[in-house]
Amino acid sequence: MPGIENRPILKLTSGMLLLLTLSLTACTAFAPSQRASWKLTDPPSLAPQNQPLNSPSTGSPNPQSRETQRVGPQKTIPQKETEPAQPEKELFAVPESIDRSQPPQPRDLPEDIPSRPRLETPQPQTRAKPETTPQRPSGPMMTPPAQAGPLEMTVDVIPKRQLGSGATFYLIIKNTSNQSVRNVLLECEFDSALLFPGRREKKIGQRLGTLQPGESKEINLTLYSDTLGNHCCRFRAMAEGEELVWKSVCVEYVKKQLELSVIGPSARTIGSRAEYIIKLSNVNDVDLKNVKVTVSYDASLIPREASIGSERETGQLKWMLDTIRVGEGVQLQVEFDCEVAAEYACMRVNVTSPELPDEQASACLKVTPAQGVLDVQVRDTKDPIARGEETTYEVSIENRGLQPARGIQLRAKIPRMFRVVSVEAHQGNQKLNLRPEVNQNTLVVSPVQELPADAFLRYTIQVKALSSGDGEFDVTITSNDSDKLETRVSEITTVNR
Tens-digit pLDDT profile for residues 418-476: 999 999 999 988 999 999 999 988 999 999 998 998 999 999 999 999 999 999 999 99
Q: Please give the Cα distance from 418 to 467 (Å, whole number).
A: 7
Is residue 309 a part of any domain in this protein? yes
Among 221, 143, 235, which residue's Cα sits nearest to residue 184?
235
Q: Please, is 172 exposed, middle or buried when counting C-beta atoms within 10 Å of its C-beta (0-12, 13-18, 19+)?
A: middle
- Residues 326, 290 share a domain: yes
Q: Please give the Cα distance from 319 to 302 (Å, whole number).
A: 18
- Residues 106, 214 share a domain: yes
Is residue 23 a part of any domain in this protein? no
Tell me, what's the pLDDT at 371? Answer: 78
- Residues 318, 226 share a domain: no
- Residues 406, 490 share a domain: yes
Q: How many domains does the chain have?
A: 3
Is residue 24 a part of any domain in this protein? no
Domain CATH for 106: 2.60.40.10
- Residues 470, 379 share a domain: yes
Cβ proximity of 494 and 276 under 8 Å: no
Among 445, 350, 447, 355, which residue's Cα sits nearest to residue 408?
447
Q: Please give the Cα distance from 284 to 325 (Å, whole number).
A: 9
Q: Let me know how long the chain is.
A: 497
Q: Could you tell me the strand order of the sheet in which 229-239 lies?
A: 91-93, 203-211, 181-190, 229-239, 242-254, 160-162
- Residues 277, 213 share a domain: no
Among 388, 396, 386, 260, which residue's Cα sits nearest to residue 330?
260
Q: Which of 15-29, 80-94, 119-133, 139-153 has the highest mean pLDDT?
A: 139-153
Q: What are the C-alpha distances in Å from 341 to residues 110, 162, 258, 481?
A: 21, 35, 34, 26
Whether the bond between 384 and the residue before it is cis, its omega within 30 degrees of 0, is yes
**Model pTM?**
0.62
Is residue 406 a part of any domain in this protein? yes
Cβ proximity of 65 and 333 under 8 Å: no
Residues of the chain above pLDDT 70, percent = 70
342-356 per-position pLDDT tens digit: 988 999 999 998 888
Is residue 280 a part of any domain in this protein? yes
DSSP state, 298? -
- Whether 170 has a pLDDT exceeding 70, the answer reads yes
Supply the range of the domain harboring residue 433.
374-496
- Whether 29 has a pLDDT exceeding 50, the answer reads no
